[in-house]
Structure formats: structure tokens, C-alpha cells
Chain A
């Protein structure tokens, strides 16, 4: 569906995309994950031929993409990071306008517009002007305008930024449904939970480079750190902390703010060993949390910085 080869994009001296390669297959929900400024949006804009690039090749549907490739554009839907709707047109007029750029037939378009309204849950707001909509509803309208023409390939660039949880869930559900209906989705976000929850394959980007690609399981398997264990306790003498640090297979042990945090090596499980030590020394403890490794851990280990930063 998408082949990007050796893409280089420079802004003066800054390299926004550094020999970037990407392959996305039909039917995938592909996530581009990375902190702000990692090159996700630049990659999408280059793929869509909105931006010039210094070097490389972009193929969509097996054909080279260009600004005048209208046959390809007709099969693509784009939901930009910034809301792009006309403030003077109502919800239904906006969707009808953008759908009309792809579907000239009025009757066919009417049905598609209604479908997009139902899909995004904007039925009660069809006569509303955008300024009357909440942030979440506005994002939904932004999506409706991008997908009303039923594209085969959909680019969603950070569609859930500044959205309330209810609208976020609605949007994520909608994306899954689009995918089930046959659309291939390229989804960018810096919210790792969303990407983890939604995407069948994920690319982690940093400083214009693809640092890792795979399913979430494959990505987590790439790193040497495994589960993270957190224990709440009021006091922990240094000698006991040293004893815990001596457990084989623990790669990190910290105690701060009445919380003991430990990270195992990949595949390790040492919960009972740690709790045994605490009991033996009559150290009372509160809640105990065990978390599997996250994509942030993957990003942290590969790049040395937190994804959240």
C-alpha cells in the first residue's frame, strides 16, 4: 500500500527525515509513534506530496506519488493535526463540501455525508457552526471531513490531541471500524497507550529516523528490560535495599518517596522473591503494582530519553 524508500527531508541544516524507510501493507493500522518534532508529520506530508523532499521515493498503491496524481488522491483521506474546517459552514455543509471534492454525484454524496455523520456521532449537531462545537466534537468533524468519501488509505495525524476521553474513545472506535471496513490506516500520535491499543504495527521515530518497527510484542521483545514492579512502603533500611539489589535478574532498583521501584530483565519474574525479603525483615508494605514493559520503555532503552518528554 505504501512504500517509502530512503527519504531525506532537510529544513536548512536540520535533517527532519534521515534516510527514512517505511512499508505499510493493505489492511493495517500502522502507528507512527514518536515525541513532538520526531518527524511523524513531516513524513506524512512528504508521503502526500505536500512537502518537497531532498531525496528518496514514495509509492502509494504501487505508484509514485505526486501533486498531480489525482487518481491516487481520490483513494486517500487525510485528517490533519490541526482542525481544517470552514468556520462559516455548518457541520453538514463542511462534510458535504469536502466530500464533494471527491464525489461529484449529488445523490451518492448525500448518502456518504449521512454515513459520515452517523459514523462520527454528529447527528445532533448537523446544523451547528464549528465555533459552537466542543473540542472533541470539532475533532470528530475534522475526521468526518477527511473520511466521508470512503477512502482506501487514511492518514490520521494526531487526531486525538486535546480531546476529552469520551470523544477519544469514540474516535479510536471509529478508526477500528474504518479498518474493519477495509481501509488501511496510518496513525500518528505521541500517546503511546493509544498506539499500543489501536495499531497492528508500530514504527517508533526519533529525530527523523525510524528507530524500531514491528508489532507491539515484537518491539517489547527487542529490549532487555521486562516487567516493572512497584511496592508502596513507609520505610526501607539501606541494608534491605542492598539485599534486594543483589537479586539476580533485576536491572534497576530505586527507592524514593516511600515507593520501591524495580525493573526486571526481559522474561524475569521476581515478585515473590522481593516480597519474601520484605516479610522476612518485617517490613510492612502497602499496594503492589506489576506492569509489563511499555513502548515508552522501548523508546527509553533505544534512545535514552523518555517518549513522554
Chain B
């Protein structure tokens, strides 16, 4: 009996082109789009050395504090904010500026007063160089000459901080989008739950009525069929994860088995969600599909799928919503695996997802037990 129901369900899912597209193909397309759109996302956030020129005049030679300030933005590992090149005169510096060899140069005027920055373009590097020089001048003018030897440390404290990662994995914005995508895919398991219930309840379809006449317990039939749907849905998540890791080259960290566990638990939640929605509402099938998609997309939006950072805002402003949002919990579980070396928060998320799934399956079971209807 189990094999008959389970395998036929798998066969049906494999041949159902609409489900195949929305739960198998569509997420792959989305992942590919993310790959294309967010390819430079992490690179954009990284700071590269800024080539800066200085006109090597007598004034510069005497300005020890500027020397110190420029040295201060280099650390012992060699991560330098500026790569300083000295020029004998402004003509040489202008040529270098024109050729793009430097983003700007520092020039002392003839009076030998404060240095000024010469740039030929607007950009992040030019802004940073200007901020640096402004900060330097502000502090230089506000502290005594005797304190100039401390200038470098003051500059460092005021403007430049160093990001220290508590994780073994490098910080990246890109994976957050993939996590939200996987969470969306998990919730798309709702389609599988919806199909099971629609075709097994006599009040929802002629097929349901025919199957209701079979000499098999309703709970058994629903359980076997849901299991088939869950298997197929989890398989589609495995393929998506494999595609993201091996084809798109995205690193999900070293805890791949726990990533897959999260996918599985998320799939259970998605399937249970679809079954519950399908059983409890009196809407037509198309309306139920629309409801499932809407709820899934709202949950995914709140978990940061469409706009990065929304999940943090929701967690801050409406923590209850964040904790009850299944997509946010799945996304957060992935996030914990990637960034945290400990597992407390990860398993807390998994626990919440399982409790949600259990509650939905319980509601489903209560409705499935009803076998006779007022109308069919």
C-alpha cells in the first residue's frame, strides 16, 4: 500500500509540469539571476588601496604630523589606505592624475600653509582622501604642537575602525540572498501539501471522492502521499543547493550537512503549511495557490529576499513577527550556520520550525479525520 501511494505520488510530481517549473526550475533561475546581479556585491564592499600623490616640497618634508598620519593608516599586516607616491612638481602629478595612476595629490601652497587635495574626478576614493585630509587638518588645528606625536593614534580612533569577524567564514552579503531563496523554496513545499489534500479529500475533488471510497485509512493515505511530496520537494532543494554551491560557486561554509538538515526541516514546514491551508479554507484550488504564493512571498520579503536588511529591521521593530515568520527562521538558521561557531541559535531556529510544522500537521490531522461532509 505504502509503495503504491508513495511511488505514484513521486511519478505524478515528476510529470506535473507546473509544479516542476515553480518548485524546481524557477528557484534555479532565481539563483542564477542572483549570481549575475550580485556577482560584485562583496567586491564592492571591500576597500582597496587609494593611490595618492604628494608634491615633495620643503613644506611637506617639514610637516612631520602629516607623515605620521599617513603612516598611521597602515597596519602591521600591510593593509594600507593610501599608496603614497612623491612627485617633484605639479606637472608630473597632473600627468599621473590624468593617466589614472593616482586618484589625487596633496599640494602645499607657496606660503607653506595647510595642504590641499587636488582631484580630477568624484568618487569613493576621492571622498575618502578628502575626508582623511579634512580630519587631519581639524585635529592638527585643535591640538597643541606637543601632541602631534599622538596625532596618528587620534586619527585612528576617530575615523578608522577595523572589522573583526567572529566567524571562520568571511563576511558576505551575497549568501544572505541565497539563504532567503532557499527559505522561499522550502515554503514552496506548500504546493506539495496542497496537491495531497486536494486529491485526497472527497469535498475538494472527484479524485478525492474516489479515493475516499478506498478501504484505506484516511490518515495513512494522507501521510504516505505527503511523504512522497516531501521527498520530491527535498530532492528539489538538494538540487538547488548543489547548483548554488557547485555551479554558481557560492560557499555555504563547512557545515553542509546542517544546511541540508535545515532544508529538510524547512521542507517539512512548507509541506505542512500547504496541507493546512488547503484543508482549512473553502477557497477554490486556484485561490488557494494564490494564497500560498502570497503568504510565501510576504514571509520571504520580511526575511530579506527582495530587499537586503529588511529582516534586521523587522527583528528590531517587531521581534514577534520575526520569530513567527517561517522564512525568517529558516534564513536565520542558515545564517547561524555560516557565521556562528556555536549551535545554540541554530538549533533554537530548527526547534521553532519543527514546532510550527508540528502544529500545522496537527491541525491537518484534525481536519483529515473528518470524512463525511455536508456537501461535496
Residues on A facing B (Cβ under 8 Å):
11, 45, 48-52, 67-68, 70-71, 73-74, 76, 78, 80-86, 88-89, 93, 96-98, 100-102, 104, 145-146
**Which one of A51, A76, A86 contacts B376 once the chains associate, using CB atoms below 8 Å?**
A51
Within 8 A of A (CB), among B184-210: 199, 202, 205-207, 209-210
A86 touches B12 (CB 8 A): yes
CA distance A100 to B212 in the complex (A): 14
CA distance A74 to B5 in the complex (A): 17
Contacts of B128 in A (CB 8 A): none
Closest 6 CB pairs of A and B: A100-B4, A101-B214, A84-B206, A67-B371, A70-B215, A82-B206
B214 touches A51 (CB 8 A): no
Task: Kindly provide the distance from the CB of B224 to the nearest chain A CB, expressed in whole angstroms.
Answer: 11
A50 touches B11 (CB 8 A): no
Q: Does B257 sit at the interface, judged by CB under 8 A?
A: no
A50 touches B4 (CB 8 A): no
New contact pairs (20) apart from A49-B371, A67-B371, A88-B16, CB-CB < 8 Å: A49-B372, A50-B212, A51-B373, A52-B372, A52-B373, A67-B218, A78-B213, A80-B206, A80-B209, A83-B206, A84-B205, A84-B206, A84-B207, A84-B210, A86-B199, A86-B207, A89-B8, A96-B4, A97-B4, A98-B210
CA distance A86 to B211 in the complex (A): 11
Q: Does B255 sit at the interface, judged by CB under 8 A?
A: no
Contacts of A98 in B (CB 8 A): 210, 214
Q: Does B162 sit at the interface, judged by CB under 8 A?
A: no
CA distance A51 to B373 in the complex (A): 5
Report, as a range, how many residues of chain B touch the other chain: 20 to 34
B1 touches A101 (CB 8 A): yes
Known: A50-B376, A51-B373. A74 touches B207 (CB 8 A): no
B207 touches A71 (CB 8 A): no
Q: List 18 A-B contacts (CB under 8 A).
A: A11-B374, A51-B372, A51-B374, A52-B373, A73-B215, A76-B213, A78-B209, A82-B206, A83-B206, A84-B206, A84-B209, A86-B199, A88-B13, A89-B8, A89-B12, A102-B215, A104-B1, A146-B210
For B206, B207, B213, B375, the residue with the greatest tally of chain A CB atoms inside 10 Å of its CB is B213
Closest to B199 in A: A86
CA distance A93 to B9 in the complex (A): 11
Q: Does B318 sit at the interface, judged by CB under 8 A?
A: no
Closest to B210 in A: A84
Task: Kindly provide the distance from the CB of B74 to the nearest chain A CB, expressed in whole angstroms.
Answer: 66
Task: Kindly provide the distance from the CB of B19 to the nearest chain A CB, expressed in whole angstroms.
Answer: 9
CA distance A88 to B212 in the complex (A): 20
CA distance A34 to B216 in the complex (A): 33
Contacts of A83 in B (CB 8 A): 206
Q: Does B317 sit at the interface, judged by CB under 8 A?
A: no
**Which one of B1, B213, B375 contacts A11 once the chains associate, using CB atoms below 8 Å?**
B375
Task: Kindly provide the distance from the CB of B85 to the nearest chain A CB, expressed in whole angstroms.
Answer: 70
